[in-house]
Amino acid sequence: MLAALILVVYVTLIADPTAYSASSRSDSSTGTSNAVTVTSPAITSSPQDLNATQKVLSQITQLLKDLQNRNLSHLQDYFTNQSVLTLTGCTDGLGGKYTGLSEIESLYARYENGIASLSFNASGLAFRVIDSSTVNATYGLSITARGFFGTVDATVAVKQQWTLSSNSTQNTTSSSWAIEKDAWNFLSFAVDSSLIQVPACKS
């Protein structure tokens, strides 16, 4: 179940193609967290492909900010009733498919509490433009989450397929790009805690 704690602050996710880092530490008196700094990767492509990848990068960046700030109500800006989130590898019992906005929201909502601080680093961001309305994004993600239970460290390989969507359940603010397929493969998962004992996992 601790693996899901990491997902609350999710993919995302991404910024610089070689290295991305950010941290979020809740302030009990203000309810605020540190700002996320995002650097856009250099993209060499046709004007049409560049436009599509820039819009997807913008969505990924904002998704990361919303998840880090626990703005789970904004998940409708990125997921639709047709979206599928798949968890594989070292998922600590949460592997499987979560279909539709409602199931994905429920997954995150169950574990939005319990994390005092987190940090994550993403690398290897790559885009593949399938057509004018479909863009694939892949990247590696390493995560450290700290809470009352101790510390969780995980590495994840992320694959996303973004599509232009006009689904009525989506409350788009800056674009109409949404996640159709979201695959998280947990390559490793380790818990350092004096309260519980969880075997380390590598897939």
Domains annotated on the chain, with CATH:
2-25+42-202 (3.10.450.50)
d(CA 33, CA 53): 28
pLDDT of residue 180: 97
* Alpha-carbon dihedral sign for residues 102, 115, 125, 74: positive
Please provide the distance, in angstroms rounded to a whole number, between the alpha carbons at the two ends of the chain.
17
pTM: 0.74
Instruction: Output 124 or 155, whichever has higher pLDDT.
Output: 155
The bridge status of strand 79-89 relative to strand 177-192 is parallel
Q: What is the pLDDT of residues 135-187, one digit of tens each?
A: 999 988 888 888 888 998 999 999 999 999 764 445 544 448 999 999 999 99
d(CA 195, CA 131): 50
The full length of the chain comes to 203
